[in-house]
């Protein structure tokens, strides 16, 4: 019984992640508002982070932190069965830090577009600049 | 000793970038800040030249273990001959771009400019040298973030900001997908190391793993096509590259687009060398076909759209789309000849494209306009820039004594082995591109001057352009007329990563185990 619930949860999470990713890609490509594009981008990267966390996750109880308390390996088997893989979490941490830089830069760009053209609609902003060929 | 140098090379520019604010606050002089960055990049160039020299002296690639950790756990840098040559090319071109910028970037925001250029060079060098798939992601993002910011350098111009945002959105969409591919790689194969991955791939060949492998390939390919600006994802490139300051256009068009090609090299050649013996072979063939089709469509698109541009920088940007299409066609062959052609084409294209953009920058500064008609006759006014312009345009067009001819010839031979129709398509595409190059050359050099040219003082820029021109001519003549040199540099580099790949990965695998 427990196994069935685990399987179900796993499939459900994966389906949710796929739907999330598709919606956010739609948002980035087709939404006109630059802020909504930015929101979609953060949703997409968070979806990817959750997917990576899921890769190292263990459905079990109790969950312990992945730290050796006894180096001679007395609790090694226990640790292997009850601790999540720490490496995907390290990857996600790196990804979050990098994503922060990109999001801050894009947010700055959106503010600057609003200051210069008075709109945050991507297509209107493009139309309002017909000064091509100036250096 | 050499492995320490490999570890230092990507981090020297990054370190210099972080110390630029201190130098600026102490001196507050443009020449001091720019000179500091130039010296650091000159050191990087010398170091990468040493690495390239050493890489050709020994048979095996060099392995650097960051922090001394053994391989599947720690990050490794693997430098083979291909990567060493790309690293040397990158640091040399960035050095000349920075020298050029000393006389081009004269506004108040120059410290930011220098920081971002240094960060960008650290990213590209990291992409070239890394042997770890996740580190490749980090380095792609370092390159990407600094490139987005550099496109937005003129922050009071709406064009620059909007094109930079377009680039940033599509670029970070790509890297998010690459991160997903890394998650899949780790959860299905349990490793992120390039060589370790290539061994582990063959152990799991059930349906689920085949599916995962295909998905990883699709996501990685999509990301690299975005990074290179190749056909379905080329739309950001003709907006973003012209909106940046001209030296940055040279940096983006000459070097940043190479990151996609290097990534494909690492995925298709190093990480998948072992998959030919397994059912994964069919996936590899599909990936190769997809890369070549994307490349050929991109070539046709770029060549056709080049002919209708009125803005000179947009024209050169479409030429980048076309040439990156050719590079993808070369790297998709998955053969010795394909890699050889790709390597030589990368070198030729980067040198010529950077020179072309930099020389156009002189004319644009003089005439105050980017429209092709207003630039007519400016090539005769500035002799050094005019010579550089002529040489680089003829190189890109593929006129015989210059290196572009040999590059196109090698590519033609490689494609001829793959499929004769693609080889003919490539020749026809080059011919369409040639029309646009000739129009550009004729208008700029021999057109009647219609606008009043301002007097610009760009002696250093013109000297840099002459150095680059001489480099192009030397590269062209030496490689074309002395086949032994071509064989011992380009040929042996391609040989190491295609035919002798087994020795390559075995050496790397053995160095992992040693503490």
Any domain includes B275? yes
pLDDT in tens, B17-72: 899 999 999 988 888 889 999 999 999 999 999 999 988 888 888 888 887 777 67
Question: Looking at the partner chain, which of B159, B161, B173 has a beta carbon nearest the beta carbon of A41?
Answer: B173
Query: How far, CA to CA in Å, does B194 sit from each of A49, B78, B127, B128, B133?
Result: 22, 9, 13, 13, 6
Residues 6+ apart with CB under 8 A from B11: B122
The residues facing B62 across adjacent strands are: B79
Distance between start and end Cα atoms, chain B: 16
Using a CB-CB cut-off of 8 Å, the residues of chain B touching A26 are none
Residues lower than pLDDT 50 in chain B: 515
Structural contact between residues B323 and B389, judged by C-beta atoms closer than 8 angstroms: no
Question: Looking at the partner chain, which of B161, B365, B368 has a beta carbon nearest the beta carbon of A109?
Answer: B161
Interchain contact, B186 vs A95, CB within 8 Å = no
Residue B357 is predicted with a pLDDT of 92
Any domain includes B515? no
Please state, in angstroms and rounded to a whole number, the distance separating the CA atoms of residues B468 and B491.
24
Residues 6+ apart with CB under 8 A from B245: B104, B105, B113, B150, B153, B154
The count of structural domains within chain B is: 1
Query: How far, CA to CA in Å, does A88 sit from each of A23, B178, B271, B341?
Result: 24, 14, 21, 38
Confidence band for A1, pLDDT divided at 50, 70 and 90: low
pLDDT in tens, A17-71: 999 999 998 998 888 888 999 999 999 999 999 988 888 777 777 777 777 666 5
DSSP reduced 3-state for A3? helix
Q: What is the value of pTM for the model shown? A: 0.91
Residue B308: domain span: 2-508
Residues 6+ apart with CB under 8 A from B84: B48, B51, B52, B55, B56
Please state, in angstroms and rounded to a whole number, the distance separating the CA atoms of residues B203 and B413.
35
Please state, in angstroms and rounded to a whole number, the distance separating the CA atoms of residues B429 and B375.
26
Interchain contact, B370 vs A133, CB within 8 Å = yes
Residue B200 is predicted with a pLDDT of 85
Question: Looking at the partner chain, which of B134, B184, B368 has a beta carbon nearest the beta carbon of A135?
Answer: B368
Determine the distance in angstroms separating the CA of A52 from the nearest CA of chain B, rounded to an integer: 5
Please state, in angstroms and rounded to a whole number, the distance separating the CA atoms of residues B340 and B355.
23
Nearest alpha carbon to residue B88 among B132, B54, B113, B63: B54
Nearest alpha carbon to residue A100 among A54, A38, A51, A56: A38
Any domain includes B514? no
Interchain contact, B368 vs A122, CB within 8 Å = no
Nearest alpha carbon to residue B267 among B354, B356, B178, B341: B178
Please state, in angstroms and rounded to a whole number, the distance separating the CA atoms of residues B138 and B77.
13
Residue of A nearest to B233 (CA): A29
Residue B232 is predicted with a pLDDT of 85
DSSP class per residue in B187-244: HHHS--BHHHHHHHGGG--SHHHHHHHHHHHHHHHHHHHHHHT-GGG-TTHHHHHHHS
Any domain includes B81? yes
DSSP reduced 3-state for B369? strand
B293 near A CB under 8 A: no
Residue of A nearest to B154 (CA): A135
Please state, in angstroms and rounded to a whole number, the distance separating the CA atoms of residues B477 and B475.
6
Determine the distance in angstroms separating the CA of B46 from the nearest CA of chain A, rounded to an integer: 30
Check whether the bond before A62 is cis (ω within 30° of 0). Answer: yes
Neighbours of B26 (CB within 10 A): 10
Any domain includes B335? yes
Range A2-127 has CATH code 1.10.10: no
pLDDT at A132 over 60: no
Please state, in angstroms and rounded to a whole number, the distance separating the CA atoms of residues A128 and B345.
39
Residues 6+ apart with CB under 8 A from B403: B344, B347, B348, B351, B352, B395, B472, B475, B476, B479, B480
Burial A40-69 (b: 16+ CB within 10 A, else e): bbbbbbbbbbbbbbebbbeeeeeeeeeeee
Interchain contact, B161 vs A56, CB within 8 Å = no
What single-letter DSSP state applies at residue B488? I
Please state, in angstroms and rounded to a whole number, the distance separating the CA atoms of residues B79 and B85.
10
Please state, in angstroms and rounded to a whole number, the distance separating the CA atoms of residues B408 and B444.
25
Burial class (CB in 10 A: 0-12, 13-18, 19+), B420: exposed
Please state, in angstroms and rounded to a whole number, the distance separating the CA atoms of residues B285 and B290.
9
Question: Looking at the partner chain, which of B162, B168, B180 has a beta carbon nearest the beta carbon of A125?
Answer: B162
B145 near A CB under 8 A: yes
Structural contact between residues A99 and A45, judged by C-beta atoms closer than 8 angstroms: yes
Structural contact between residues B181 and A55, judged by C-beta atoms closer than 8 angstroms: no
What single-letter DSSP state applies at residue B374? G
CA B371 to chain centre: 27
Please state, in angstroms and rounded to a whole number, the distance separating the CA atoms of residues B473 and B126.
29
Neighbours of B178 (CB within 10 A): 26
Determine the distance in angstroms separating the CA of B311 from the nearest CA of chain A, rounded to an integer: 6
Please state, in angstroms and rounded to a whole number, the distance separating the CA atoms of residues B95 and B106.
18
A97 near B CB under 8 A: no
Residues 6+ apart with CB under 8 A from A93: none
Residue A135 is predicted with a pLDDT of 42
Length of chain A measured in residues = 135
Residue A72 is predicted with a pLDDT of 62
* Torsion B146-B150-B151-B155 (CA) sign: positive
DSSP class per residue in B280-304: HHHHHHHHHHHHHHHHHHHHHHHHH
Any domain includes B513? no
Please state, in angstroms and rounded to a whole number, the distance separating the CA atoms of residues A45 and B333.
33
Which of B112, B158, B193 is the best substitution to test chain A (most A C-beta atoms within 10 A)? B158
Nearest alpha carbon to residue B350 among B250, B426, B449: B250
CA B436 to chain centre: 23
B56 near A CB under 8 A: no
Structural contact between residues B418 and B333, judged by C-beta atoms closer than 8 angstroms: yes
Alpha helices in B69-109 (DSSP H): 81-104
Question: Looking at the partner chain, which of B134, B165, B369 has a beta carbon nearest the beta carbon of A34?
Answer: B165
Using a CB-CB cut-off of 8 Å, the residues of chain A touching B177 are 48
Residue pairs between chains A and B whose CB atoms are closer than 8 Å: 112
Any domain includes B478? yes
Q: What are phi and psi of B369, to 5 degrees?
A: -145, 155
Tally of CA atoms within 13 A in the half-sphere of B66 that contains its CB = 19
Question: Looking at the partner chain, which of A44, A109, A113 has a beta carbon nearest the beta carbon of B173?
Answer: A44
How is chain A split into domains, by residue range?
2-127
Please state, in angstroms and rounded to a whole number, the distance separating the CA atoms of residues B318 and B230.
11
* Torsion B115-B118-B123-B126 (CA) sign: negative
């Amino acid at each position: 019984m427990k196994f069935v619930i685990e399987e179900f949860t796993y499939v459900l999470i994966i389906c949710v992640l796929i739907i999330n990713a598709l919606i956010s890609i739609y948002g980035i490509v087709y939404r006109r508002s630059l802020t909504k594009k930015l929101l979609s981008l953060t949703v997409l990267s968070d979806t990817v982070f959750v997917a990576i966390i899921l890769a190292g996750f263990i459905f079990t109880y109790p969950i312990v932190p992945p730290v050796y308390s006894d180096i001679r390996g007395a609790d090694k088997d226990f640790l292997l069965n009850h601790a999540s893989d720490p490496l995907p979490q390290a990857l996600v941490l790196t990804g979050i830090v990098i994503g922060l830089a990109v999001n801050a830069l894009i947010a700055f760009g959106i503010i600057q577009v609003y200051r210069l053209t008075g709109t945050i609609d991507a297509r209107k902003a493009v139309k309002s600049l017909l000064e091509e060929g100036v250096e | 000793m050499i492995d320490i140098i490999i570890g230092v090379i990507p981090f020297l520019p990054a370190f210099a970038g972080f110390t630029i604010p201190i130098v600026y606050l102490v001196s507050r002089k443009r020449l001091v800040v720019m000179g500091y960055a130039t010296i650091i990049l000159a050191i990087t160039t010398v170091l990468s030249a040493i690495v390239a020299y050493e890489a050709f002296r020994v048979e095996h690639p060099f392995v650097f273990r960051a922090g001394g950790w053994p391989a599947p756990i720690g990050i490794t840098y693997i430098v083979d001959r291909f990567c060493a040559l790309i690293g040397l090319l990158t640091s040399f071109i960035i050095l000349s771009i920075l020298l050029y910028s000393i006389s081009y970037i004269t506004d108040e925001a120059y410290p930011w400019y220098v920081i971002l250029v240094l960060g960008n060079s650290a990213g590209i060098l990291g992409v070239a040298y890394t042997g770890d798939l996740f580190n490749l992601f980090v380095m792609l993002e370092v390159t990407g973030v600094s490139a987005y910011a550099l496109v937005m350098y003129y922050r009071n111009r709406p064009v620059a900001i909007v094109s930079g945002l377009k680039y940033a959105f599509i670029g970070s969409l790509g890297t998010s997908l690459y991160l997903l591919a890394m998650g899949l790689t780790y959860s299905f194969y349990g490793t992120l190391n390039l060589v370790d991955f290539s061994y582990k791939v063959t152990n799991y060949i059930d349906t689920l793993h085949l599916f995962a492998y295909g998905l990883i390939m699709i996501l990685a390919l999509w990301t690299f096509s975005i990074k290179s600006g190749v056909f379905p994802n080329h739309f950001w490139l003709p907006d973003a590259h012209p909106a940046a300051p001209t030296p940055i256009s040279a940096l983006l068009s000459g070097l940043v687009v190479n990151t996609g090609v290097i990534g494909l090299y690492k995925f298709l050649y190093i990480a998948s060398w072992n998959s030919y013996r397994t059912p994964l072979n069919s996936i590899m063939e599909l990936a190769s076909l997809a890369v070549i089709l994307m490349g050929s469509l991109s070539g046709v698109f770029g060549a056709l759209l080049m002919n209708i541009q009125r803005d000179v920088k947009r024209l050169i940007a479409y030429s980048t789309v076309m040439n990156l299409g050719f590079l993808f066609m070369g790297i998709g062959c998955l053969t010795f000849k394909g890699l050889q052609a790709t390597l030589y084409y990368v070198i030729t294209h980067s040198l010529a494209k950077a020179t072309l953009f930099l020389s156009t920058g002189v004319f644009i500064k003089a005439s105050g306009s980017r429209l092709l008609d207003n630039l007519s006759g400016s090539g005769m006014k500035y002799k050094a820039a005019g010579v550089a312009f002529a040489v680089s345009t003829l190189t890109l067009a593929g006129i015989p004594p210059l290196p572009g001819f040999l590059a196109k010839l090698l590519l033609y031979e490689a494609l001829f082995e793959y499929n004769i129709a693609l080889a003919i398509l490539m020749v026809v595409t080059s011919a369409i591109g040639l029309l646009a190059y000739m129009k550009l050359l004729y208008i700029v050099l021999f057109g009647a001057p219609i606008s009043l040219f301002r007097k610009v003082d760009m002696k250093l820029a013109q000297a840099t352009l002459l150095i680059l021109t001489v480099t192009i001519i030397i590269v062209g003549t030496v490689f074309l007329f002395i086949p032994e040199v071509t064989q011992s540099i380009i040929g042996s580099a391609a040989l190491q990563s295609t035919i002798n790949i087994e020795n390559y990965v075995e050496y790397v695998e053995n160095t992992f185990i040693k503490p």
